[in-house]
Amino acid sequence: MHLLETIGNTPLIELRNTTASTEGRLLFKYERGNPGGSIKDRPALFIVTEAEKRGLLKPGGTIIESSSGNFGISLAMIGAAKGYRVIILVDPKTTATNLALLKCFGAEVIVVTEQDDSGSYHKTRISLANKLASEIPDAFRPDQCFNLLNSTAHYQGTAREIFADCPDNVAAIVAAVSTGGQLGGISRYTKTYRPDVKVIGVDAVGSSIFGGESHSYLIPGIGLAWTPCNVAVENIDSVYKVTDEAAFVAARCFARNEGVLMGPSGGACALVALTITKQLSPHDCVVCIISDGGDRYIQTLLDDAWMQSNNFSIETSLEKLLALTGTITPWSIHPDQNANYKPELKSQLCVPASTQTINENIDEINESASRISFIDYITEHGFRMRMASRSACMRPLVKNYMKNSRQQKSRSRRLFFAESIRRLLNIVRNGC
């Protein structure tokens, strides 16, 4: 098996110590198990593979990307495996460990120290990456912020894995948002096939993806000063914003009380997921996406001196973690009303033509993915599409689903299609 074939199929683990028997179950989709150590392996490989198919990335070419760490590490690993030159633009929030990993895989690292108008580094990183891509021959920009293949990767992969492995009683899925890939892809799949499941987005205090004031914050790999195009806000039921301290302390508490290492974004998501779990009955469960492992944050998150230098608590008791859940409340229960889309950024940041070309074809790609997922959804439950095709009473439902699959924009349509799938399954199980 080739290294890159090990990406995906990460474990779903259940936590036992932080939830009571009278509360819901808490499950972690633990993405540390990918060879590059994070969930970013999935979209990185997906985008690179698609670029190769399209002739946008040729043998001996150069991959140039803006990344806070994990996506860059994934690209560096893939570049080393496939023989590409890789240039990654990071910022001062990138940990020393991540910088070392990037260089270990042979990536060239540029640290961008100029802040943008929001107090972050995203715009300056992206702008410089686009400039370099236009100047370097045979360069390709994966462009995770604006490339819709980012969310498609999670629609086809991560989301399908979750529902294949999860029990039927999933009440909610919790995921962080930055470039919007994982939250966008998972939410689209969920609201297509399981609209009864709540999709919860987690953002950082200081990010304005879902409105609010933009200012600097310390949590890496989460948040933006605008709503990325990969996030379809109509698919998100509610959003929580978590402070730096709460995210870092929660991650340390889960390491100490559950033996699960995670980064600050994972700590933020896990804290929100635990809070929701405590509002549920034992019959229900919450799935939380843990994007990476805490081993990349040994010099920050896991270092008492660093925590104290930022005036963060170093207490890691279960009581401290449970107390934090009492501080967590939704930022918005109507995320679609708070979206902060800025379409002008595409021209201001000089988004490359390759991204625009890919995005022009993405509806066709998503339609294909939707059909594949529909068939897989049936087969993963132990049924045969051959049986469906022979059933006269099923043909109208299948035909209608396929005819209207590209039009699944409103919640009412999603509900209809989800109900159609359930009817199909019942027919296959029980006959007409």
Is 29 designated active site?
A: no
The edge-to-edge listing of strands for the beta sheet with 238-242 is 12-15, 25-30, 285-290, 170-176, 198-204, 238-242
Q: Catalytic residue among 40, 123, 191, 278, which?
A: 40
Pairwise CA distance, residues 99 & 116, whole Å = 22
Give the number of other Cβ atoms within 10 Å of residue 103's Cβ: 13
Neighbouring residues of 51: CB distance < 8 A, sequence distance ≥ 6 = 57, 140, 142, 354
Q: Which residue has the tokens 């059909």?
A: 371
Which is nearest to 143 in space by CA: 42, 65, 29?
65
Neighbouring residues of 50: CB distance < 8 A, sequence distance ≥ 6 = 149, 358
Pairwise CA distance, residues 223 & 214, whole Å = 10
Active site residues: 40
